[in-house]
């Protein structure tokens, strides 16, 4: 049996394990171990597999993950989210569907310090949905806005998923994080335009609220300065090149901690933020270890190269093949979580995408945008489950019905990025020029 045939068989075994409910890290590491032993024997195969967790853990790039995660959890437990929503409500509440629009911009602002989609959805399920329901908003719209707004944390820097992509494909973390800024803003603006259009067409979905005087609007801004400061520090440090992503993340975490302590953050809240950061970091590291074991096996089997050669040889234009790849991600995302999906597919898909002539930074942003879509598609639309769990008065079916227009908006956004890649590449090219 050839090495390529062994690679295909073990990959099928991995997919069977994952779809049977086995955790991705366990399935990937087990399949990788079996494949390595099958190819090169127990002593050599097990020896290589045993070195991977340590050799990958000491990678300096990985240290950026706990820093970005810590920023989000401290900001949440310090109660900085209410200030964002209140400011967004004061400035945007007067447009049709104004509270929903405010929710989108507030989630985008929190995403800029969180990097965790589910955390963003959970926070604003408590902060924004009650305001919308009290003002007569359709509950499907209210739930859909928060579930969709939470996905912005996957794209707007700092983003843990962008860091994971960079680690897998060995691209610059800083360049990817900078590249996510403009697409994240574009996504938020498209969501806002969708809401305004919906509410103009059907005013009963969500009416505008009275605009406060300009003085009251301006008075809401100082409370948002902590988050603005953290975002500015992280972005400017990497943009100017005087700090690595890890150093910028550590500085951002320090700043948000100081602000939280001045705002009266208690020890138990800080302890909880640290514990949640540790738990999420360990989960992500476990995923990375397991999948990198499988990736090493794929390299020995030669499967990524063979798949790339086959894909490039198809008698279709590259854009048609790319659309097919993205549709494949959309289907996978119905059954897998975003991080696991990226970790399992990128080792095979990435070489093919590069062979087709696509820019790796552009593809990173597009594929992470697909991860956003997967967070709101049934049956495993994780953000929808989070919203329904936090708001048991809103049935899960209503959340999925409310999310459907945002799914269409995401499809339009991805089409826009396909048609105009400069939207993604302009800022990183400017930084690197």
Tell if the pTM clears 0.85, that is, is over it.
no
Number of independent structural domains in the chain: 2
Rounded CA separation 74/283 (Å):
19
- Supply the pLDDT for residue 56: 66
Quick one: tokens of 101?
Answer: 């629009």
In 3D space, the residue among 83, 180, 68, 181 whose CA is nearest the CA of residue 124 turns out to be 83
Chain centroid to CA 303: 27
Contacts of 9 (CB under 8 A, 6+ apart): none
Q: Are 299 and 19 in contact (CB under 8 A)?
A: no
In the listed set 274, 301, 328, which residue is the last one of a domain according to the structure? Answer: 301
In a domain, 113, yes or no: yes
Nearest Cα residue to 153 out of 429, 339, 349, 377:
339
Largest CA-CA distance found in the chain, in angstroms, rounded: 76
In this structure, the answer to whether residues 44 and 139 fall within a common structural domain is: no
In a domain, 309, yes or no: yes
Please state, in angstroms and rounded to a whole number, the distance separating the CA atoms of residues 284 and 282. 5
Residue stretches of the chain with pLDDT short of 50: none
Question: In this structure, is residue 348 part of a structural domain?
Answer: yes
**For the chain, percent helix, then strand, then coil, each to nearest 5?**
80, 0, 20
Say what the pLDDT of residue 157 is.
Answer: 73
Q: For residue 381, give every residue at least 6 positions away whose Cβ sits within 8 Å of its Cβ, in sequence order, or none.
A: 147, 374, 375, 400, 403
| Full residue range of the structural domain in which residue 141 is found | 59-265+302-432
Interval 194-217: pLDDT, tens: 999 999 999 888 888 888 888 888
Query: Cα separation of 396 and 53, whole Å?
Result: 38
What per-residue confidence (pLDDT) applies to 380?
66
Q: Strand, coil or helix: what is 250?
A: helix
Shared-domain flag, residues 191 and 240: yes
Same domain, 307 and 178: yes
User: Does 92 lie in the same domain as 208?
Assistant: yes
> 312 and 233 in one domain?
yes
Query: Cβ neighbours of residue 412 under 8 Å, at least 6 residues apart?
Result: 190
Tell me: do 391 and 254 sit in the same domain: yes
What pLDDT was estimated at residue 335?
66
- Kindly state whether residue 273 falls inside one of the protein's structural domains: no
Q: Based on the number of CB atoms within 10 Å of its own CB, is 46 exposed (0-12), middle (13-18) or buried (19 or more)?
A: middle
Q: Is residue 280 part of a domain?
A: no
- For 6, the token pair is 């062994």
Same domain, 152 and 250: yes
Verify that 340 and 361 share a domain, yes or no: yes
- Res 371: pLDDT: 82
């Amino acid at each position: 049996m050839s090495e390529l045939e062994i690679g295909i068989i073990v990959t099928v075994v991995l997919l069977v394990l994952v779809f049977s409910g086995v955790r991705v890290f366990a399935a990937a590491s087990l399949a990788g171990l079996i494949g390595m032993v099958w190819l090169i024997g127990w002593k050599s195969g097990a020896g290589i597999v045993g070195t991977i967790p340590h050799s990958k853990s000491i990678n300096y790039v990985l240290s950026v993950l706990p820093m970005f995660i810590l920023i989000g959890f401290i900001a949440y437990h310090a109660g900085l989210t209410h200030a964002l929503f209140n400011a967004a409500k004061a400035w945007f509440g007067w447009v049709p569907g104004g509270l929903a629009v405010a929710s989108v911009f507030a989630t985008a602002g929190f995403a800029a310090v969180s990097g965790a989609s589910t955390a963003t959805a959970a926070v604003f399920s408590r902060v924004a949905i009650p305001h919308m329901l009290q003002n007569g908003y359709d509950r499907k719209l209210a739930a859909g806005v928060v579930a969709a707004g939470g996905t912005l944390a996957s794209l707007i820097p700092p983003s843990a998923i962008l860091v994971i992509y960079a680690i897998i494909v060995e691209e610059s973390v800083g360049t990817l994080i900078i590249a996510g800024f403009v697409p994240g803003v574009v996504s938020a603006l498209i969501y806002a335009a969708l809401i305004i259009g919906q509410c103009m067409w059907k005013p009963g979905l969500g009416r505008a609220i009275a605009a406060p005087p300009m003085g009251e609007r301006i008075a809401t801004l100082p409370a948002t300065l902590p988050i603005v400061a953290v975002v500015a520090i992280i972005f400017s440090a990497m943009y100017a090149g005087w700090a690595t992503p890890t150093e910028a993340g550590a500085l951002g975490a320090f700043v948000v901690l100081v602000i939280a302590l001045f705002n009266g953050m208690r020890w138990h809240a800080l302890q909880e933020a640290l514990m949640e950061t540790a738990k999420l970091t360990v989960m992500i590291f476990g995923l990375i270890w397991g999948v990198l074991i499988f990736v090493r096996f794929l390299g020995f089997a030669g499967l990524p190269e063979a798949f790339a050669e086959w894909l490039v040889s198809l008698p279709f234009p590259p854009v048609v093949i790319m659309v097919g790849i993205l549709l494949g991600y959309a289907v996978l995302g119905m059954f897998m979580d975003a991080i696991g999906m990226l970790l399992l597919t990128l080792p095979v898909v990435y070489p093919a995408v590069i062979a087709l002539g696509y820019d790796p930074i552009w593809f990173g942003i597009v594929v992470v945008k697909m991860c956003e879509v997967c967070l709101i598609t049934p049956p495993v639309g994780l953000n929808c489950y989070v919203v329904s769990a936090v708001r048991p008065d809103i049935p899960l079916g209503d959340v999925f019905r409310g999310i459907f227009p945002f799914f269409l908006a995401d499809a339009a956004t991805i089409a826009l990025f396909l048609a105009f890649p400069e939207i993604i590449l302009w800022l990183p090219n400017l930084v690197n020029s």
